[in-house]
Structure 1
């Protein structure tokens, strides 16, 4: 089933288009892959980036929207990504980047397309573990800027994943979040993870 990619705030998209159209106006230079790309560069697949700030004592994740990420496509694949963030004045372009998370995000999105049920794709960052996951929210019509990971949601760790966590292996939130809690919090024996059915 197709993913229900949420629409990004129009102002966030405009900042990315402006950064692509006027490279001299951007503080950070374009990445090598953007400089070497042939043909037009198109921002696609906007994904809200949520940050896992902590997990409460009762196991509730506390997340916040940190920005929107756009994959920058040249031809038939993404060559880079663009990050935007919300400021007091509205949405602002943050930076371009490339690397393994770009190709890993594309791969995880293809996996999600084959999942057999509709999901709303988001990204969930776990800063304490230097980890990024594709968060497949089970309510495809939800407001992409709000909400918490739900028991019906899937998380697909992107590569590179922390040691002991397999990238591109989908897990139910209820399976992966306890492991992340133990990793970020006090040391303890790691639980055995089973892939989501």
Structure 2
């Protein structure tokens, strides 16, 4: 399997590193993983584009083609460990996060690399997220040459399981049902 990542400019790498250094230096971050690692030992890995779908789009029957590009994300590595993610939003905003989706990204990549069914394909690494459902998945885009593959990340909301390969149509059907329920619940208040 060939996993492709987007080309990254030197300027964007410098911007991410500068932002990470600034965050790690804040007093509020002194107990976070970013502040505990030596900045010289940190590497940026696996750049990938982040796409987003909203609840209304899902309920209307969105496809993966309807997902909006919202940013570019990197895994922040300290040795072999993913300790954070860093994202540059399309509006030039910056976020760095720690938590389950960081390790979930690394695990989803491992699942994809070990799956014999994907060994012959050529895929672009992406992430799909539905913020209102606290849902993130590794999206391996076949670019029209291969069938797209989607692997939800832990903590995945039921009925998903982290690391489970899901066909895009099945994924979107399940997400649409979750979106309907969420919108109905929100309308009660």
Q: TM-score band (shorter)?
A: 0.7 to 0.9
TM-score, normalising length from structure 1?
0.76
C-alpha change, 1:86 and 1:31, in structure 2 (3 Å) is farther
- Further displaced range: 170-179 or 34-43: 34-43
Tell me the residue number matched to 2:82.
Answer: 78
Q: Which has the higher helix share?
A: 2
Q: Contact conserved, 2:59 with 2:177, CA < 8 A, in 1? A: no
Cα distance between partner residues in 1 of 2:52 and 2:62: 16
Decide whether the 8 Å contact of 1:3 with 1:112 is kept in 2. Answer: no
Matches within 5 A, 1:14-25: 14-23=14-23
Q: Which residue of 1 aligns with 2:178?
A: 183
Q: Indicate conservation of the 8 Å contact 1:2/1:118, yes or no.
A: yes
Match of 1:154 among 139, 145, 149: 149
**RMSD across aligned positions (CA):** 2.8
CA 1:186/1:73 → structure 2, altered by over 3 Å: closer, same or farther? closer
Aligned residues: 174
Q: Give 5+ residue unaligned stretches, structure 1.
A: 142-150, 188-197
> In 2, are the aligned partners of 1:124 and 1:132 still within 8 Å (CA)?
yes
Secondary structure of the structure 2 residue equivalent to 1:14: helix
SS at match of 2:147: coil
Deviations 1:31-68 (A, max 9, x none): 61111124511111111110013137455452111111
Which sections of structure 2, spanning at least 5 residues, go unmatched?
Answer: 183-189
Q: Given the superposition, is the C-alpha separation of residues 136 and 28 from structure 1 closer, same or farther in structure 2, using an over 3 Å criterion?
A: farther
CA distance 1:155–1:99, change in 2 (3 Å):
same
Correspondences of 1:66-145 after superposition (within 5 Å): 66-87=70-91, 91-92=92-93, 94-114=94-114, 115-116=118-119, 117-139=121-143
